[in-house]
Structure 1
Amino acid sequence: MNRHHSTLTLDCAGLGVPPGAYALPSEAAARDHATAVGLDPETFAAHLREHFTGQRTVTELAPEEVTFLRAELDHQVAERRATALDYFTRHVPLRFATAAPDDVARDWAAQVAAAPHATKSLLLVGPVGVGKTHYAFATLRAVADTGSPIRWQAYTAANLYAALRPRDDRRADSDYESIAHAPLLLIDDLGAAKLTEWAEEVTYRLINDRYERCLPSILTTNLVPGKLGATIGDRVASRIAEMCDRIPLKGNDRRKAGQ
């Protein structure tokens, strides 16, 4: 049994593990376990191969085979989760390092982990200070909790435009592609200020690239949808309306609490 990744969809739900591609357990480990529980090593190994290639359902595996496979996959999940949480810890701003996701964020994260190109983006809408940025990073934490290897980038709109501002060197195009084609992108405070013609065009290019490539994004804005187009352009607002599920956040300005 070679160490390789499954080419077909593993029955993750039946095995109780997050969706994703998993490495087939080693032949030596499978044989040792089969011998230990009194099963034929050849049959045991063959059944695992058949499950990974879609020829045998999880319900057709023996209980001992399911137990072994689940334990092997749980180990892979733990390794992936540790790696993903390390990435989150190294890239999250300190203020949001302990942001805790709610059930909505966790459900969205599970969808991203299972099928990122089939998952709608998120548009977090609400007035200043209600916790949109906190919620956005909590959602990224939820993605890390799934063990997904997806690598995200996060920018405020102001920092995004600073990073993409025209320069004389040849890195401008590669910098743009690195951001626009990021597997998961957070843009905070979109539309916080009226855009220049250049910034509006860059915003259109970036959102349109992600729209066409079906790349998941998390966008936050203080503007209600009806006013978004007046600030960032109707072409951008139209694509955002189609590509995003809107999550309204309400409340008072938390930053002013206690003043």
Structure 2
Amino acid sequence: MNQHISTLSLDHVGLGVPPGRYALPSEASARFHAQAAGLDPEAFATHLLEHYKGQRTVDALTEDECKFLRGELQEQVEDRRLAALDYFDTHVPLRFAKAAPDNAARDWAARVVADPHDTQSLLLVGPVGVGKTHYAFSVLRAVAETGAAIKWQAYTAANLYAALRPRDDRRADSDYESIAHAPLLFLDDLGAAKLTEWAEEVTYRLINDRYERCLPSIFTTNVLPGQLGATVGDRVASRIAEMCERIALKGADRRKKVSA
């Protein structure tokens, strides 16, 4: 029952811990715990090892075995949660640092952490100033709160095009791949401006890469769904329609101050 053996695994869902690799409790620590608790050390250690090898389900572990295993993993879970929140705090723009997720944001975060390749992306739709960007960052906070070590990236559409603008060095392809293949990408203000032929092609390439790799994304747009094709191209609009679940945000422009 050595630590950090890549062939061993856990039932993350059954144990209630985020997916990822963990330092598994050693055989010695399992035996010591069982002996101190007045349990059978041999059976205790054997059952845990069988679970690591996929030969024994969580349901087939005793209550004491599950409690021990969860307890041993909990410190690692908390360390990961703090690290994920620290990543969020260092990458979120100051204006959105206190974005608080609602239940829908937490639900999507839990789903994308559990199975990122089988969770639909998010398309946040609504007029200017209703809080789409704020909500998107609240979703990213919800992802961080799960403790999953997902290194997300966030760009406005304008900043994305600036970052990928052709230049005379060899970093262009690696920069593109870093963004296109990010574990989770937030692209803000999709379709906010009429695209040039180059920008339209970059947008298609980016969306298509993520579509084909089943990588989760969060998009915001002011454009009505039926008009998205005219703004970003039919190929992009078609893929977004298939890969995303849509959330419509309504309300007045929050940025406008109401005069007395």
TM-score, normalising length: structure 1 = 0.95
Q: Which amino acid aligns with 2:108?
A: W
> Which is worse superposed, 19-28 or 127-136?
19-28
- The match for 1:148 is 148
How far is 1:21 from its partner? Answer: 4.1
How far is 1:52 from its partner? Answer: 1.8
- The match for 1:129 is 129
- The match for 2:42 is 42
> Which is worse superposed, 169-178 or 130-139?
169-178
Q: Which amino acid aligns with 1:148?
A: A
After superposition, residues 1-259 of structure 1 pair within 5 angstroms as 1-4=1-4, 7=7, 10-259=10-259
> Which is worse superposed, 10-19 or 84-93?
10-19
Tell me, what secondary structure is at the counterpart of 2:128?
coil
How far is 1:4 from its partner? Answer: 2.6
Distance 1:28 1:169, change over 3 A: same
How far is 1:152 from its partner? Answer: 0.5
Superposition RMSD in Å: 1.5
Cα deviation digits, residues 138-178 of structure 1 (max 9, x gap)? 00000001111111000000000000001011111111111
> Which is worse superposed, 40-49 or 220-229?
40-49
User: What residue ranges of structure 2 are gaps of 5+ in the alignment?
Assistant: none
Equivalent-residue separation in structure 2 for 1:122 and 1:57 (angstroms): 33
Equivalent-residue separation in structure 2 for 1:91 and 1:249 (angstroms): 24
Equivalent-residue separation in structure 1 for 2:4 and 2:174 (angstroms): 33
How far is 1:72 from its partner? Answer: 1.2
How far is 1:62 from its partner? Answer: 2.0
How far is 1:228 from its partner? Answer: 0.7
Q: Name the count of aligned residue pairs.
A: 259
Distance 1:6 1:172, change over 3 A: closer
Aligned-pair identity in percent equals: 78
TM-score, normalising length: structure 2 = 0.95
Cα deviation digits, residues 185-216 of structure 1 (max 9, x gap)? 00000000110111000000000010011110
Equivalent-residue separation in structure 2 for 1:125 and 1:31 (angstroms): 55
Contact 1:20-1:113 at 8 Å conserved across structures: no
Equivalent-residue separation in structure 2 for 1:122 and 1:5 (angstroms): 35
Contact 1:6-1:52 at 8 Å conserved across structures: no
Tell me, what secondary structure is at the counterpart of 2:255?
helix
Equivalent-residue separation in structure 1 for 2:5 and 2:81 (angstroms): 18
Q: Which amino acid aligns with 1:70?
A: R
Cα deviation digits, residues 19-77 of structure 1 (max 9, x gap)? 44433212232122112101222221111111122211222222221110111122221
Tell me, what secondary structure is at the counterpart of 1:77?
helix
User: What residue ranges of structure 1 are gaps of 5+ in the alignment?
Assistant: none
> Which is worse superposed, 67-76 or 178-187?
67-76
Q: Which amino acid aligns with 1:90?
A: T
Q: Which amino acid aligns with 2:24?
A: L
Equivalent-residue separation in structure 2 for 1:65 and 1:35 (angstroms): 12
